[in-house]
Amino acid sequence: MYAGISTLYLLLGAGASLWLNIPNVNAHLTAWHKGMYCLDGVDPGVVDYNSAAAVTPLYQLTKSDWWFHHINGCDNFPPAGKNFVELPAGGSFIVEIASNRAKTSLSYNGSETSDWPDGNTYPEDYVRNIGQYIYLFCLIVHTQNQSMAAGTAFAISYNSDIHQVTAENLVVFSVRYNTPWKRITSYDVPAAMPACPAGGCICAWGWVPNGCGEPNIYHMAYKCRVSGATSTTPLAAAKPPVWCEGNQTACTKGAKQMIYWNQNDGNNVEVDGYDLEGSHKSPPYNMKLGFQDGESGRSNREHNS
Ligand SMILES: *[C@@H]1O[C@H](CO)[C@@H](O)[C@H](O)[C@H]1NC(C)=O
Ligand SMILES: *[C@@H]1O[C@H](CO)[C@@H](O)[C@H](O)[C@H]1NC(C)=O
Ligand SMILES: *[C@@H]1O[C@H](CO)[C@@H](O)[C@H](O)[C@H]1NC(C)=O
């Protein structure tokens, strides 16, 4: 996969025609952090510094397989020791969005990292919208350019046991519009996030790529905990988001579930037809589905009626 992309980049540099000879590769991505499940891969007792076990996309699977990436057993490999994603109430935290652990600071002392998710270096002038760059960014981050990136989100469940997490108690608390894009990505934490139980919370990262290939989803698990909490008000039960582009009164008010789409069962969002730009509707983490950018603390405590 990576060789494919490097080869493509060399071709680009040489000015060869990309349109004729595109390798059939897609960069699949996830948010890497030492608090994630299956960081070390899915071979018991083996630490795989070159693991892509967490990045395979989820498409047309049964819920028992797609939920927390059970398809390859990811959810059976909790993070080691006391590794949590620390969520500072009112602050922000950082993850590394990448195609492989090797391309993060969690492997090889970060020697294979770059600003981008796949360890390579790309020109910043992609915004000129040259056809070849569109193809390139499709391959890397499943989008034609940053403004088209679908957005990603973190959600939290106030349960320490991953098996107790449900779509209703896993509440989206932070969204970053126009991601995935670069490797280092930060998310804001609501000031009013209450503390987690003693064993921590379970968090999840989600992404629904829009265009540039298979319309799949990503659903990754983490152990997380809130620091500096002052609020004790629990989050509300989450409701599915609904398509509400151009009509905010139609959006789901209050706490929202993550986006579950294009699976055999367990979907919570249905869309059909075209969006206002004339593209096939794809449910994103942005206002088309009623998600604000940044932390969503206020709506997290609002109950849906
Ligand atoms: C990472 O850095 C440490 C300290 O500089 C060094 O001891 C270690 O060998 C390095 N590991 C790798 C895989 O390069
Ligand atoms: C991003 O790509 C879309 C679709 O090709 C295009 O309409 C838009 O102008 C592009 N935006 C930028 C900033 O290049
Ligand atoms: C906006 O959504 C509301 C609630 O679903 C609906 O009653 C209304 O007709 C919609 N308005 C427009 C202009 O579509």
Q: What is the pLDDT of residue 303?
A: 62
Least confident window among 8-17, 123-132, 163-172, 183-192: 8-17
Mean pLDDT of 198-212: 93
215-254 pLDDT per residue, tens: 899 999 999 999 999 999 999 999 999 999 999 999 999 9
The pLDDT tens digits for 138-195 are: 777 777 778 888 999 999 999 999 999 999 999 999 999 999 989 999 999 999 999 9
- Closest residue to atom 7 of ligand 2, CA basis: 148
Q: Quote the mean pLDDT of the chain.
A: 87
Architecture of domain 5-232: Distorted Sandwich (2.70)
Query: For residue 7, how far is its CA from the centre of ligand 2 (angstroms)?
Result: 25
- The answer to whether 96 and 105 have CB atoms below 8 angstroms apart is yes
Three-class DSSP category at 174: strand
Tokens of 1: 């996969």
* 108 CA from centroid of ligand 1 (Å): 7
243 C-alpha vs ligand 3 centroid, how far in Å?
11
Burial 90-121 (b: 16+ CB within 10 A, else e): beebebbbbbbbbbbbbbeeeebbeebbbbbe
Give ∠ CA 134-135-138 in degrees, rounded to 5: 85
Question: Which sign, positive or negative, has the C-alpha torsion 88, 89, 90, 96?
Answer: positive
What is the rounded average pLDDT of the residues 80-84? 93
pLDDT tens, residue by residue, 243-290:
999 999 999 999 999 999 999 999 999 999 999 999 899 999 999 999
Residue 21 pLDDT: 31
Q: Which residue is listed with tokens 């398809």?
A: 71
> What pLDDT, on the 0 to 100 scale, is given for residue 111?
98
Tell me the CA–centroid distance for residue 246 and ligand 3, in Å.
Answer: 9
Atom 3 of ligand 3, residue of closest alpha carbon: 250
Nearest CA to ligand 1 atom 6: 109
Q: Give the atom of ligand 1 at the shortest distance from the alpha carbon of 108.
A: 13
> So what's the pLDDT on residue 138?
77
Within its chain, how far is the Cα of 169 from the centroid? Answer: 18
Read off the pTM: 0.88
Asked if residue 293 has pLDDT above 90, the reply is yes
- Ligand located closest to 245 CA: 3
Domain ranges (residues) in the chain: 5-232
